[in-house]
Amino acid sequence: MMAAMGIKTPKHGFTLVELMIAIVIIGILMAIAIPAVNRTIVAAKQTKIRLEINALEQAVEQYMQKFGDYPPDGSSQDVVIRHMRRRFPRIAEPDVSLLTRLTSVRGTTTPSAVAMDRAEALVFFLGGFSDDSLHPLTGEGGPVALIPGRTAGSTNIDDYQYNATRDNSLFDFDPSRLTYARANDTAPLLSVDESVWSGADLNEAGGVDVLPVYLSGGAEPAPIVYFDSRTYGLVAPGVYNGFRHPTLGAIRPYKTGRDIKPPGGATYGSVDAAFAAVPFHNPKTFQIISPGLDGLYGTLVGTAGGLPVHYITETGTPVFPNDSAANPAGLAVTAPGIGPRFQEGGTEVNGHLDNITNFSASTLEDDLQ
């Protein structure tokens, strides 16, 4: 009827003002939603790392229950060999010789604190050993296997390759995150961690060996590291335990702000007393540390006299064994460029903050007081 009468039916639609308002509203909603979604994704990834750290912690505890001793972290050759002799009382000397070479400067029997580093030790001890009580390393299912064509019973570590089909593993390592590979189809299976990282400890381990590490799954190819409480501190004269990488940073066992001891006199009086005044987390067990989603551990900073710096996790405060300190506050590092909360001496990147450990509820940043 209206059409017949020449009256046009009005068409409904958005005006320009209404469109602009809708766009603004959508933009506001996106501005709110995207950060929330990103936070959820980050939290989910961190939870995945946290769960894996929990599983590794349970595996180490299972190791302790099974063998009556926590696995060493490789920093002390004496501790490693004593541990293996207790665990395998009938271990044959060829396997002991190989173990000596795995924990020595490349091509020698000189003990090294980094030939079996803190990441390699985690895989070595949790990955499983042979049921052959005489040859737990080289027997069937052990961590190393003789390269075909080499002399049986050899004590030359270059005659061996990594065994990817180990028995009695206490943790299900994802093979895609273990740093082993073959140069070609017929080459031995060896770890490539030092080569991948441009020579993190080439001076000690030689760059290609039979000890792979387990990558953390973060943005950078950084491994999960393990510290044994027996060797949290000195591992050689003037050398304190830690893990270092030229681009991924470095890490030492973390200390806690609980029960810091005051000096026994006017000052602490000795480096040893000042070092012991600030206790470590898990002082009788172990620490497992992931570099988090950024794949960066943090930085080790030096102080006068080359004394080591450790971090207090509850506050992020860097401390060092200042023997002349008159109170616990005198143990804090106050050098230029070193801040009070995991700050890394002049760099904007603070790798410590998203590190995840077996003693933190979540990331170290979330646990800061």
Alpha carbon distance 322, 114 (integer Å):
26
- Residues 18-46, mean pLDDT to the nearest whole number: 79
Model confidence at 46, in pLDDT bands (50, 70, 90)? Answer: confident
Model confidence at 168, pLDDT cuts 50, 70, 90, reads very high
344-361 pLDDT, tens digit per residue, is 554 445 788 899 999 999
- Average confidence (pLDDT) over 247-257: 90
For every residue of 133-162, DSSP letters joined together read SS-TTTSTTSSEEEPTTSPTT---GGGEEE
pLDDT for res 346: 46
Question: For 284, what's the count of Cα atoms within 13 Å in the CB-facing half-sphere?
Answer: 0
Higher pLDDT, 252 or 42: 252
Pick from 243, 224, 231: which is nearest to 285 by CA?
231
Among candidate residues 252, 243, 219, the one with its CA nearest the CA of residue 49: 219
Distance CA 49, CA 217 (A): 8
CB 60 within 8 A of CB 103: no
Residues whose CB falls within 8 Å of the CB of residue 107, separated by 6 or more in sequence, listed in order: 206
In the chain, pLDDT over 90 holds for what percent of residues? 56
Sequence-ordered alpha helix ranges (H) in 147-224: 193-196, 202-205
In the prediction, which pLDDT does 237 show?
85
Q: Would you say residue 123 has pLDDT above 90?
A: yes
pLDDT at position 236: 85
Give pLDDT, residue 300. 65
Which helix (H) or strand (E) segment is 84 a member of? helix 77-87
d(CA 248, CA 220): 8
At residue 337, the pLDDT reads 63
Do 170 and 64 touch, CB atoms closer than 8 A?
no
Q: How confident is the model at residue 268 (pLDDT cuts 50, 70, 90)?
A: very high
Single out the residue of 220, 218, 193 nearest to residue 207, CA to CA. Answer: 193
Instruction: Give the mean pLDDT of 204-221.
Output: 77
Q: What is the pLDDT of residue 229?
A: 98
Q: What is the pLDDT of residue 10?
A: 61
What is the share, in percent, of the chain residues with pLDDT greater than 70?
A: 86
At residue 287, the pLDDT reads 98
Q: Given strand 286-290, what is the order of strands in its sheet?
A: 225-228, 286-290, 356-357
CA atoms within 13 A on the CB side of 311: 28
Cα 60 from Cα 54, distance rounded (Å): 10
**In the block, residue with structure tokens 């230029």:** 336
Phi/psi of residue 64, nearest 5 degrees: -60, -45
The residue among 187 and 42 whose pLDDT is bigger is 187
Does residue 33 surpass a pLDDT of 90? no
Q: Is the pLDDT of residue 146 over 80?
A: yes
Task: Kindly write down the DSSP assignment for every residue of 314-362, as one continuous string.
Answer: TTTEEE---TT-SSGGGGB---TT--SSS--TT-S--GGGG-EESSSSS
CA nearest 178: which of 96, 234, 123? 123
What is the per-residue pLDDT for 276? 96
Q: 199, 198, 177, 181: which is closest to 189 by C-alpha?
A: 181
pLDDT surpasses 70 at 86: yes
pLDDT of residue 111 exceeding 60, the answer is: yes
End-to-end, the C-alpha distance of the chain in Å comes to 77
Residue 150 exposed, middle or buried by CB count within 10 Å (0-12, 13-18, 19+):
middle
Asked if residues 278 and 255 have their Cβ atoms less than 8 Å apart, the reply is yes
Residues 49 and 290 sit within 8 Å (Cβ to Cβ): yes
Average pLDDT, the chain: 86
Of residues 192 and 299, more confidently modeled = 192
- Bridge partners for 363 per DSSP: 356
Lowest-pLDDT range of 19-28, 277-286, 346-355: 346-355
Half-sphere exposure of 130 (CA within 13 A, CB side): 19
- Confidence at 248, pLDDT banded by 50, 70, 90: confident
Residue 219: is its pLDDT beyond 70? yes
Token duo for residue 71: 């696995």
Which residues neighbour 273 within 8 Å (Cβ) at sequence distance 6 or greater? Answer: 263, 264, 323
Q: Which one of 11-20, 134-143, 203-212 scores highest in mean pLDDT?
A: 134-143
- State residue 37's pLDDT score: 67
